[in-house]
Structure 1
C-alpha cells in the first residue's frame, strides 16, 4: 500500500518544491548534505519512501524551490499571531496563499521567491516575536507529517490549498533591511475581524485552530457563520470557505462528519439571514 507520506512528497515535487525525508516523528532531515540532496525527482522520492515508508516529508525552501515560508508561532509564550496582526494593520494584510497548520497549532504561509533580489536565508524573530522565516538553506516539515513532541498534538495539515503567491512588498522590505520589529499592540483584535478577505479568512481559520477542547464545535459554527457573510458579499466562494474550515476542524481533532455538518448548517443559516 502506498503511504500518504510518499503521495504527498510526489505532489510537492510536481509543484517544483524540492523534498527530502526525515525519520518518523522528526521535523528536520538527518542525512548529511540534505540541502543538496533535496529533489523533485520522482524516482528518487519513490526509492526514499520505499526504504522509509513512514518518513516525514520536508520541503527545502529557497531559490531552487522558489519558496519563502513565514512561520507564525504562538507556543511557548510567543505571540506570532499578535505580532503579525500589528504588522498587517501597519502595512496591509497578507495575501491568501498556500497555508499549512503545524502540529503545535502554528501556521506556515508559503510564498514564491518573486521580488527577492538579495541573499535571504532563515530568520528567527527578525520580523517580531513569534515570526520566523525560512529561505536559502532552510526547510519546513510538511503535511501530513507528524512530530513526536509534547507540543505537537496533531499532524501537519493543509489549510489553504492553492498555488503560492508572492510575498507582499512590505514583508520583503523588512527582511531586506535590519529593521526594529513592530511591537505588538496592548490588545489583539477579535479573530476574523480584519477587513481584507484573505486576512478575515485566515483569522477565522486561526480561531478554529486556537479553540479550546470543549469549545471547538461552537467555534467552528461561529467561524462558518462569519464566512457566510463573506460568501454573500462575493469575497470568497462557498467551496473555499468549506475547505479551509474543514481542514482546520480536522486539524483540531473534530470528526469529519461532525465538522461537515456544522459547517454546512452554519453556512446555510448565514445565507438565509
Structure 2
C-alpha cells in the first residue's frame, strides 16, 4: 500500500473513532465510497436465499457491520487496511440520523438541488435548522438531521425532487475526513460545533411513505393494504416500498403471517426472492423482530 494510502487509512480510522465516540455507528469505506469489506456470502449459490445481516459473526455485511464500539471499529479497519474513508449508518439510535444529499445539479430538471429544497420548504412551510453540513468533492452537500425513534425513514433517490437523495434506515453517509477517488469530504465551515438538528415535522411527513388505506377509506389493519402497497411499486420504488411495508407488518405483529404474501408481491414487481428476503430480513432487524 502506498504511503499516502496508509496515511489516508490512519486518518479515516481516527475520524471514524471520533464519530463513534459521539454515538454514530461507522464502517470502513473504500475509495469507491462502497463498504471496504466484501460479503462473506458472495460465493453462495444464486438460488440460495441469503438474508444474513451479520448474524454469522463475520465482517462484510455493509451497514450491518456498523458499530460505535471502538474495539470493533478498529477490528473492522484492521480487516480492511485499504480503506480510506468511513460510512455513518443512518436510522440507528441514539441519533436516528437522516441524510439529505443535495447534488450540485439535477440532470433531469437542470435546476440546483439547493433551490429545489428551498422551494419545497416554501411550499410545505418548514425551514432547515442550523445543523451539520458535509461538503462533497463534487460540490454537493449532505445535511444531517435526526428523526424520531418511532418512524422508519426509507432511502430514496430523487423522490422529493430531482437531485435530492435521502439516506435513511439501511443507508449510510460518507463521513467527513474520508478520501475517495474524487477527493475529500469535509465539514462545512461554521457547522463543526453543531449537533444534527431534528428533522422538521413537515419535511418528515414528505420523507415517510403515505399511509396505506383500504379502498373503502379505512386504514388497512390486516395486512392486505401492505401487500397492495408493494404491488403498486414502480421500478426504483420496489425495495423501498417492500422495506416500509415489512417494517409496518413487524411493528403491527403480523410480520410472520405476511412473510409469504410480501415475498409473492415483491417477486411480482420484479425483485428476486433473494433480494426480497434480504429486504424483509433488514426490516425485521430494524424493528427488533426476527423474520
Shorter-chain TM-score: what band?
0.5 to 0.7
Is 2:109 the counterpart of 1:59?
A: no
Residue of structure 2 in register with 1:271 after alignment:
none
Q: Do the aligned partners of 1:27 and 1:140 also contact (CA within 8 Å) in 2?
A: no
Residue of structure 1 in register with 2:129 after alignment:
95
For 1:60 and 1:112, how far apart are their aligned partners in 2? Answer: 12
Residue of structure 2 in register with 1:81 after alignment:
114
1:26-62 deviation per Cα after TM superposition (whole angstroms, max 9, x unaligned): 2121433223211111012123334516431111111
Residue of structure 2 in register with 1:71 after alignment:
101
TM-score for the superposition, normalised by structure 2: 0.55
Residue of structure 1 in register with 2:155 after alignment:
122
Which structure's CA Rg is the greater one? 2
2:14 to 7, 24, 28: 7
For 1:92 and 1:136, how far apart are their aligned partners in 2? Answer: 23
Residue of structure 1 in register with 2:71 after alignment:
43
Is 2:38 the counterpart of 1:31?
A: yes
Secondary structure at the counterpart of residue 170 of structure 1: helix
For 1:54 and 1:137, how far apart are their aligned partners in 2? Answer: 20
RMSD value, Cα: 2.2
User: Where does 1:198-213 land on structure 2 (aligned, <5 Å)?
Assistant: none
| Contiguous gaps of at least 5 residues in structure 2 | 1-6, 40-60, 212-291
How far 1:76 sits from its partner (Å)? 5.8
Q: Do the aligned partners of 2:103 and 2:113 also contact (CA within 8 Å) in 1?
A: yes
How far 1:177 sits from its partner (Å)? 4.2
User: Where does 1:166-245 land on structure 2 (aligned, <5 Å)?
Assistant: 166-178=198-210
For 1:61 and 1:92, how far apart are their aligned partners in 2? Answer: 22
Q: Against the structure 1 CA distance between its residues 55 and 167, is the aligned structure 2 distance closer, same or farther, given a 3 Å change threshold?
A: same
2:169 to 124, 130, 136: 136
How far 1:17 sits from its partner (Å)? 0.9
Residue of structure 2 in register with 1:252 after alignment:
none
TM-score for the superposition, normalised by structure 1: 0.58
Secondary structure at the counterpart of residue 5 of structure 1: helix
